[in-house]
Amino acid sequence: MERLRRLVPAFVFLTALWMFVTLPASPVRAADLREAPVTPLPDIHLSFGSGTPAPSQVAVTVELLLLLTVLSLAPAILVMMTSFTRIVVVLSFLRQAMGTAQVPPNQVLVGLSLFLTFFVMAPVWKTMDETAITPYLDKKIAPDVAVDRAMKPVRAFMLRQVRQKDLALFIRIAHLSSPPSSPEDIPTYVLIPAFVVSELSTAFEMGFLIYLPFLILDMVVSSVLMSMGMMMLPPTVVSLPFKILLFVLVDGWSLVVGSLVRSFH
């Protein structure tokens, strides 16, 4: 009997659940659904123009294509055809020589290198704007003429910085049909890699000169620690504060940045 009393609530719950599932929906709700407004789908029209496009439309398309091409090549142009390579490499050498692994951080070094690049390349970009960009935007010259005029100041800058031996190396590797008789005859695809190699060589030379005072300071500290019998103490731990103090006393940032900017002639 006790068992039967326990089964009654379960039987009532199952009966109510079965009636809820099997009973038809309320007619009022169905009517409401039938009377609900139906939102029409939007119309889609597709048409194709006929005839030849206007010359202005062709010019806009060509300008858009040139803009996308320049934007895709902008990082390579900024890194490889300007003073950015030398500046960022020298600043990286400075950080390694001081022994501060992440101070200044990479974002600061790259940002400083970018603004120094803008400063060094400002005369070049001003000439490009006056001779190529502004006349092209004013519809005074054709796109190919604008590109030729824009490359002249950039080539002049690279020719001033490139080393003769690096330029001769790439001219020899290129197997040109006739050796260039003047700087204007040197192809751009030969000048760019020669310029990059020259910039790396100059940056490594400057990095070596930056390393020397810090290396001497490390050797002095290491000798003092060995004479005191403190051979288990890393010399860099002791020399790092003295490196920072020396760099601050000699106004190192002004010296390094000034030497970098003046190295571009």
- Rounded to an integer, what distance in angstroms lies between the CA atom of residue 167 and that of residue 150? 22
- Rounded to an integer, what distance in angstroms lies between the CA atom of residue 204 and that of residue 86? 9
Q: Are 264 and 161 in contact (CB under 8 A)?
A: yes
Place of tokens 């001779």: 131
Q: Which amino acid belongs to residue 168?
A: A
Q: Are 214 and 100 in contact (CB under 8 A)?
A: no
pLDDT by residue (tens digit) across 101-133?
788 888 888 899 999 999 998 999 899 888 888
pLDDT by residue (tens digit) across 142-169?
877 888 888 888 888 998 989 989 888 8
- If phi over 0 gives left and psi between -120 and 50 gives alpha, with beta otherwise, what is residue 158? alpha
Tell me the pTM.
Answer: 0.69
Better-predicted residue by pLDDT, 174 or 17: 174
CA dihedral 98, 104, 106, 107 (to 10 degrees): -160
pLDDT by residue (tens digit) across 164-208?
898 888 888 888 777 788 888 888 888 889 999 999 999 999 999
HSE value, Cβ hemisphere, 13 Å, CA-based, for 254:
4
- Rounded to an integer, what distance in angstroms lies between the CA atom of residue 201 and that of residue 116? 19
Q: Which amino acid belongs to residue 188?
A: T
